[in-house]
């Protein structure tokens, strides 16, 4: 190529196009992209099946939660109790704790069983007798701090 005119340039560009037509991003890029997809689409709410083995752990966690809630009892927003709009409904009662869930925030749901008396001590009333256990769902925010409690009927 001594004096690349327009025709020569077109031929060269075509040769370059053909030479790199199979070039693509390496596999590690695809891995990173798909990993990002998986992270972004991970289930926001996970249910924990209560089995005999996890029951003991749940009770222990309930104890820790009760102590923690007692410690931060002053922050408990009893005014923010959401109850069913109709008396006959069996929807769970949701009690907001601390900051509300932010828009778009990913949350986790931790199901546990705790004594009704512990809830009663916190000022939360339930239909269960004081000696019974109550199933609750703790809604945990992205920062690991509880946002709300949900009392199952």
Partner 1 sequence: MQDIEAPDSHGESDQALIQRTAAGDREAFATLYQRHQGAVYRFARLMTGSSPAAEDVVQEVFLVLMNDAARYDAGRAALTTYLFGIARRVTRRRLLRERRFVELINAGDGAQDGAPNASEALERNDTLQRLREAILSLPSRYREVVILCELEGVTYEMAAASIGCAIGTIRSRLHRARKLLATKLHRTEGTCTGTRAVMRCAV
CB 103 to partner 1: min, Å: 16
Bridge partners (DSSP) listed for residue 113: 135
| Token pair of 125 as six digits | 């009333």
The reply on whether position 143 binds partner 1 by CB under 8 A is: no
Q: Find the binding residues for partner 1 in span 29-48 (CB under 8 A).
A: 29-30, 32-34, 36-38, 40-41
The residue among 27 and 90 lying less far from partner 1, judged by its C-beta, is 27
CB 132 to partner 1: min, Å: 40
Q: Find the binding residues for partner 1 in span 85-124 (CB under 8 A).
A: none
The answer to whether the beta carbons of residues 83 and 93 sit under 8 Å apart is: yes
The answer to whether the beta carbons of residues 126 and 132 sit under 8 Å apart is: no
The answer to whether the beta carbons of residues 108 and 44 sit under 8 Å apart is: yes
Select the span of 18-26, 47-55, 76-84, 141-149 touching partner 1 (CB under 8 A): 18-26
CB 47 to partner 1: min, Å: 19
Strand order in the sheet with 108-115: 76-82, 93-97, 146-151, 133-140, 108-115
**What dihedral do alpha carbons 79, 136, 66, 147 form, nearest 10°?**
-50
The answer to whether the beta carbons of residues 148 and 97 sit under 8 Å apart is: yes
The reply on whether position 19 binds partner 1 by CB under 8 A is: yes
The reply on whether position 4 binds partner 1 by CB under 8 A is: yes
Which residues bind to partner 1, rule: CB under 8 A?
1-6, 9, 12-13, 15-20, 22-26, 28-30, 32-34, 36-38, 40-41
């Amino acid at each position: 190529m001594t004096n690349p005119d327009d025709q020569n340039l077109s031929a060269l560009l075509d040769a370059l196009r053909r030479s790199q037509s199979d070039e693509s991003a390496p596999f590690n890029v695809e891995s990173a992209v798909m990993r990002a997809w998986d992270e972004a689409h991970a289930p926001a709410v996970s249910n924990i099946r209560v089995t005999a083995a996890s029951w003991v752990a749940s009770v222990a966690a309930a104890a820790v939660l009760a102590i923690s809630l007692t410690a931060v009892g002053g922050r408990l927003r009893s005014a923010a109790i959401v109850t069913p709009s109709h008396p006959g409904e069996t929807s769970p009662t949701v009690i907001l704790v601390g900051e509300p869930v932010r828009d778009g925030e990913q949350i986790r749901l931790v199901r546990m069983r705790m004594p009704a008396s512990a809830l009663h001590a916190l000022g939360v009333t339930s239909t269960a007798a004081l000696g019974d256990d109550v199933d609750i769902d703790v809604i945990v925010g992205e920062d690991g701090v509880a946002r709300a409690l949900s009392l199952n009927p």
